[in-house]
Every structure is written in structure tokens, then in C-alpha cells.
Chain A
Amino acid sequence: MLRSRQEQRRAWWQASPAAIWLGLFFLAPLALIVLYSLQSRANDGTVLWTWTWANYAQLMRDSAFWRTLWLSIWIAVVVTAITLVISYPLAYFIATRPRRWRIVLLFGIMIPFWTNFLVRIYAWKVLLGNAGVINQLLEGLGMQPLNLINSRLAVILALIYGELPYMVLPLYAALERFDHTQMEAAYDLGANHWRAFRRVMLPQTMAGITAGAILVFIPTVGTFAVSDILGGTEGFMIGNLLDLHFRTTPNWPYGSAISMIFMLMLLGAIWLYFRVTKEVPDGENPG
């Protein structure tokens, strides 16, 4: 509760760096994108300043856009789901070790990420390439080489690898806070492992799952470097489409319209996520 006008003024003054930062680096670029998306493209590729809804109208009919958007969301959902399934037991394992081991294990998860991001993606190219490590191994064993590179599989694998720590850390934080005696209490009251997990541990670690899922889903759905290097035409995602319109073609107004629709879809997806997870087991339904 703010008591005086003076205090109120001071509060504003203290918050102003954050406000300036937000305005300069977040609101202004966003306004710019909205502005661009309502213009059209001149023949030389520059922006032609004429107010129009044409970009949005064209987007609605652009099947390539919708296919790319759908593929991006599909890949991001798969990556987020698999990362969650791998990370939860991993985070649980780390959180239930003795204290000094937890630090060592968390460190172990982060160390690979001190290497440059692009270097790590190229490492996957070396692993999965047609003359890569895996295929050389297969040939050495007298088997047919596999086409691993330039595929959705390659993109998904590399994304799971890259996003894992962003899922493990919030889950670890949630599981470390969790009082594990509660699981014993649940068993004691007749719950088997699954029901104890679903009714006691899962609801209390839901915040960690949500944080992890958002931290993984957002960068994944908008990725462009990973799909560019490992995806080929099969892994062409929304990030690559934007890259095409802002760099190659260029058509900034159309690219801006794609950005806007994409962002609205993401906000919708997150809103839906919160709606659904709010109804997750919280007691009323008797197992």
C-alpha cells in the first residue's frame, strides 16, 4: 500500500528504467512490426507506404504458410513433450541425491552448453550426416546407411538436446522444494506409485512443468538456425519462412504479417495451456 503522493512519485521514478527498457526494446519494435504489416512491398523490395489489409488477406489463403506454421507447432509440441518425459525423471533423480551430488550433476548438465550454439548444431551434422559418424558405424557393421540429415528427425533430436537444460532446471527447482515424505504418506494411505505421483507429486510440481514447457516451446517453435542447418526442405519451419521474407525476397510487410499471426497463435496456445492445466488433478476427482 502506497501511503503518500511522494512515495508514489518515488515508486514511479524507481520503476522508470524498467519502463524505458520495455518501451525501447519491446513495445517500439512490436509497434513497428504492426506498422509494416499494414504496408505493401515496392517492386525493388522496399516498403511501400500505403495502408492496406492485403497482407493479412493473402496470408489467409497462403497454404504454404499454414503448412509451415502447422509443422512448426507440431515439431515444438513433440520436442516439448519428449523433453518433459526425459527431464522429469532426470530432475527427480538429481533432486533426490545428497546435496553435494546435486550440484555436481546440475553442473554436468550445463557444461556442454558452454560451447557455442552453432558449433553444437554442426556437431549434430557431423553425427547424422550421410558420411557422418553414425552412418560410418553402420557401414562398418555391414548395414545400409540411413538418411538422417535434412529431416524432421534431425531437427527434433537437436532441439531436444539443446532445450533439455531449460526443462531440467525449473523441474529440478520444483522437485527440490517438494517434501518427499508426502509420497510416503500417500503410499501409507493406500496409493500405489502411479496414484501417489498423480495426486500428490504432479500437482505440486505443475508450476515447474509449466515453466519448463514454456521455456522449451517458445524458442523451439520459432527456431531457425537448427532447422536451417539440419532440416533441409523437410524441416522448413516458420523461422525459416520469416528469414526468407526478411532477408532473401525481401518482403518486410508480408513477413511482418506472418509475425503478427504467429504471435497471436502462440498467445492463444499459451492461454489454452493455462486453461487446460488449471483443471489438472487437485483433489476433487477421486482417483
Chain B
Amino acid sequence: MNPHGPAANPVWAVELNHVTKTFHGTAAVCDVNLRIADGEFFSLLGPSGCGKTTLLRMIAGFEAPSDGSIIIGGTSVGDMPPHRRDVNTVFQSYALFPHLSVRENVAFGLQMKGVPKAEIATRVQAALELVQLPGFGDRKPRQLSGGQQQRVALARAVINRPKVLLLDEPLAALDLKLRKEMQIELKMLQERLGITFIFVTHDQEEALSLSDRIAVMNHGSVLQVGPPAEIYERPLTQFVADFIGECNFLPGRVTAISDGIAEVETSSALRISGTAPQPVAPGDQVMIAIRPEKVRLIEGERPSISNAFPVQIERVAYIGSDTRIIVRLPDGSSFDVWESNTISTLDPAAYYAAGDKAWLTWTPQNALVLTE
């Protein structure tokens, strides 16, 4: 299954065409167009209030789009009620039924479909084993830990073998260590079942590590869709560059373009060459985006490359895997630099100290020229 190849699937698992949702005149979701392939792990990533949950609720059928169409497995769902859609949801609050046992919770969907009792019993057992909770069938949800409740919610949804599983920040309520464990389990579960996952999250690391593709949203619109590396390495807008990972920004104006490399002059007269993911023309106001781990500090003579600026070290923070350094550019603005601690040493002289002078350099591929 290749979700990225052209026409790998003639029928998409989910297709959104010009989907818009307005609440009392304000657009919560604005003209969203997405095609999600069968078996894909697709994430909707954005800050809270960006419309990702509303979009998910429209796919589930809890909200009706104000405009546009939603197609699930080739069928336009229009005003089809949630109980007839071939999708299931894992809610952020889990929404387990507190008056039913774990077994009854997991069996609920099959009972609604009228599956014979004997089959329900075996499938419930299999689902509980799948989420590593065999033997928990007779407990009530309140007798389980948060992580266990999360697994029950997963089992209750996947037992119905839906075409698409919708997950609304399912790991948000868990502590960091448990969240990391559940991320791996979730990914393994998805690969094993081959169900399309649409995963809503505001955690960029979670989205990067789990997804086949990510759609970054803000203010109700999808800003960029692509595989994790593309989103991180080639953000198209300042918002995406800023929201995913860390980034240094320098405003400027394009002065010349040659061989796909744009020459930019910053407001403080620094001349920087960078790569433009979208076409730019001389005279355009742009934003240079440079990730802190993609630059280098060099001591001594000025290196003979195009992007090299004399800087002064301001602060040095050792955080184990990296050393995070804040430097000051000739124009006075500060700039983050992360250096990987590839050599194991206890010698403080191996690191920079505040007040040291150095050259800050980067290759033009690592300086992105963004138009927004």
C-alpha cells in the first residue's frame, strides 16, 4: 500500500471537497480539500481552536458541514447520521460507559449491529487481547487507570472493523512516559489492522513520529499537507515552520535570484542566500527561516562560504544530547543554535562560553525563503 503514489487507490478512504463549517457567522473550518488513502495514518495537526476537531466531528457525522462534501469509501455521506457511517471514534475523554463493564463496553458496537452472541464473545476476547487487556472484561471503567481506559476505548472502536478510525487527541490525557508507549502501540495496531487512521493532535512530535502524512491547520484552513520530513524540511509558510519544531526568522527583501537560490537583504543589511520553496521575485518581502540545528559555529578565520556572519556567544545551555547556544548577530538580533554533543567530554573548554566570538554559517539549502 503506497499512500503517496499517484492513483494507488482509485477510491479514497476519505475525500473532503471544499468542506466549510461556520458557527454563528465565524468559520471554524474553511474550504478544506483532502484526500486520505486507504490504510494511511493521517494526522491533523494544529494549535487548539484551529478547526481540526470540528473537521473530525464532521467526518464522524456529529456536525454537518455548512458547505462542501464528505465522501467515505466512495459514498457521499451528506446528512447520513453517525450511526450509519462506517467510521468509529476514539474520544479525547474516552466517553466509556461507566455503568457497563469493560466487556459490555467493547461489545456495544457489535450488539447494535445485531451480531450473534457467540461471535460477539469471541471477538470481544480477541479485541481485549489486541489491546493487552484480556482478563479485564468484568471490571468497570472507573476501576482502570487512564492508560487502560484508553485501551478499552481503542478496543471498543476497532472491534467494529471500521473503514476509518477517527482519533481525537487520544493520548492528551496521559502522562509523557505512557504517551510515548501508547504512540508506539497505536502505530503497531494501525499497521496490523490496516485501518485508515485520522489522528487529531496538537503535539507536533507525536504527529511527526506516527504519521504517513500530516495536514497542518490554522484558523480553520489547511496550510500544508505532506509526509513528516517534507513538513519539517520544506515548510511553505512561516506558521508551519514555526509550529513544527524550532526556527529562527529574519525578515528581508529579495534582491536577486540565480539557479534557484534567492539573495535576500535583511532589514539590518545582512545579505543571505537561501532556497525558496515557492516562487519569489526580486523586490518581494520575505521571511528567512533557519532551523537552529541546521547551522554551524566556526572559530577563527572567516570561512569562505556565502552565508557567514560574525557573532558573539550570549548564553550556553548544556541539555545532554545537545548544547543550545544563543548568539547575537551583527545587527543585534539573537539567534538560536543547537549543536549535537557527538563527542563525550567533561572538559568545559570543549564548549563555547558567553562572550566568545565565532562565525555563524549555513548552506543555502538550509535557509528557507518564505513568502508569508
Contact = CB atoms under 8 A, between A and B. Distances in A.
Contact of A195 (B60, B88, B97, B112): B112
Given A187-B82, A188-B83, A283-B104, A181 B99 contact: no
Contacts of B108: 186, 189, 191, 199
A286 B120 contact: yes
Given A184-B91, A282-B99, A190 B117 contact: no
Nearest to B112: A190
Nearest to A192: B83
B95 A286 contact: no
B93 interface: yes
B100 A181 contact: no
Interface in A244-264: none
B120 A185 contact: no
Nearest to A284: B104
B47 interface: no
A185 to B, nearest CB: 4
B291 interface: no
B113 interface: yes
Interface residues of B, number: 32
A198 to B, nearest CB: 11
Interface in B60-106: 60-62, 81-84, 87-89, 91, 93, 95-101, 104
A189 B156 contact: yes
Contacts of A284: 104
Q: How large is the interface on A (under 10, 10 to 19, 20 to 34, 35 or more residues)?
A: 20 to 34
A210 interface: no
Interface of A: 179, 181-182, 184-192, 195, 199-200, 203-204, 282-284, 286-287
19 contacts: A182-B96, A184-B60, A184-B91, A185-B95, A185-B97, A186-B108, A188-B82, A188-B88, A189-B108, A189-B109, A190-B113, A191-B108, A191-B112, A192-B81, A195-B112, A204-B99, A282-B100, A283-B99, A284-B104
Given A187-B61, A188-B89, A190-B112, 18 more contacts: A181-B91, A182-B96, A184-B91, A187-B81, A187-B82, A187-B83, A188-B157, A189-B108, A189-B109, A189-B112, A189-B160, A191-B83, A191-B112, A203-B99, A282-B100, A284-B104, A286-B107, A287-B112
